[in-house]
């Protein structure tokens, strides 16, 4: 893990403009929907970073027993399950080749669950990456998390879906909203203290929302990550495909791990509420 300097914070007015632009980009007008309170602003304080031994097209990220588990898509590579140690060593556990496109990942009851994008398949592995079984998803697969009982996933639209972890039978769904608007494009989910954190696809924003109501209660502009990147690390984000994507959390330390698709580094730090 490599230390970084403390970054300069963007002006609050600039952050509001970025957040407003994100919500306009992803918002879908909702007729007669319950109006959520306006989201607060969060900031991410970077404390260190992990430089990877090799990159991956990160689609899902989760920390288990001090090791990061990663799901990759097959852009510029193959669909894989990898582990990443906190000193950056990447080890491949499973490789599905290019026959499917890997998406979100979560770990529930010692099983690693991996979505696929439009292939309608859900793969379930043990912690060593051995395939145990498959399930069928009737929808596209994007972000994935769990609440200890149910799987929760997105499909690119403005909905969060609940699914049975043994059969993937769909249960209830919740509309993700900011204010009076539905918000689509929520990707790569991580559940922390009862709330879900998710990337907004193609943006530098991460939102926090209530999985019961769908209301987004906080938004963070992650431009700070680009401020602390080396020139080489910044170059790995230049492709339009290599967007911010990857959120893991360590409940023991309170640290978040953030990265992007084919990024050289994983950034470690904490979210906090921005001061007025």
The total domain count for the chain is: 1
Interacting residues of 210 by C-beta distance below 8 A, sequence separation 6+: 194, 195, 196, 217
Average pLDDT estimate for 247-263: 98
Amino acid 34: pLDDT: 75
Looking up residue 196, the CATH number of its domain turns out to be 2.40.128.630
Mean pLDDT of 100-126: 98
pLDDT of residue 3: 39
* Nearest by Cα to 222 from 237, 241, 206: 206
User: Could you report how far apart the first and last alpha carbons of the chain are, in Å?
Assistant: 32
- pLDDT value, residue 274: 87
Instruction: Give the mean model confidence (pLDDT) for residues 83-91.
Output: 98
Q: pTM, whole model, 2 decimals?
A: 0.90
pLDDT, one tens digit per residue, over 192-245 is 999 999 999 999 999 999 999 999 999 999 999 999 999 999 999 988 999 999
Instruction: Give residue 14's pLDDT band: very low, low, confident or very high (50, 70, 90).
Output: very low
pLDDT at 22: 52
Q: Which domain holds residue 29?
A: 2-273
Q: What is the pairing mode between strands 216-221 and 40-51?
A: parallel
CB of 37 within 8 A of CB of 217? yes
Cα–Cα distance, 236 to 223 (Å, whole number): 15
Q: In whole angstroms, what is the distance from residue 271 CA to residue 231 CA? A: 25
Q: How much is the mean pLDDT over the chain?
A: 91
Tokens at residue 160, please?
């969060």
- The pLDDT value recorded for residue 275 is 76
pLDDT in tens, 170-193: 999 999 999 999 999 999 999 999
């Amino acid at each position: 893990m490599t230390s970084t300097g403390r970054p300069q914070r963007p002006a609050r007015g600039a952050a509001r403009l970025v957040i407003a632009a994100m919500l306009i980009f992803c918002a879908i007008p909702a007729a007669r929907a319950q109006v959520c309170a306006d989201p607060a602003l969060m900031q991410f304080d970077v404390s260190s970073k992990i430089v990877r031994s090799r990159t991956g097209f990160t689609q899902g990220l989760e920390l288990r027993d001090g090791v990061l588990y990663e799901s990759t898509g097959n852009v510029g590579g193959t669909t894989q399950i990898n582990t990443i140690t906190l000193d950056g060593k990447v080890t491949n556990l499973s490789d599905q080749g290019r026959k499917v496109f890997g998406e979100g990942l979560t770990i529930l009851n010692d099983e690693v669950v991996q979505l696929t994008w439009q292939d309608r398949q859900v793969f379930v592995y043990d912690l060593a990456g051995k395939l145990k079984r498959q399930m069928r998803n009737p929808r596209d697969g994007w972000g994935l998390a769990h609440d200890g009982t149910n799987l929760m996933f997105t499909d690119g639209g403005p909905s969060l879906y609940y699914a049975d972890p043994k059969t993937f039978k769909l249960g209830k769904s919740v509309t993700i909203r900011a204010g009076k608007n539905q918000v689509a494009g929520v990707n790569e989910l991580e559940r922390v203290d009862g709330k879900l954190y998710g990337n907004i696809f193609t943006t530098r924003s991460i939102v926090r929302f209530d999985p019961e109501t769908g209301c987004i209660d906080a938004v963070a502009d992650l431009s700070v990550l680009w401020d602390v990147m080396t020139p080489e690390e910044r170059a790995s984000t230049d492709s339009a495909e290599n967007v911010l994507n990857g959120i893991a959390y360590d409940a023991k330390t309170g640290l978040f791990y953030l990265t992007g698709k084919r990024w050289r580094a994983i950034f470690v730090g904490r979210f906090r509420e921005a001061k007025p």
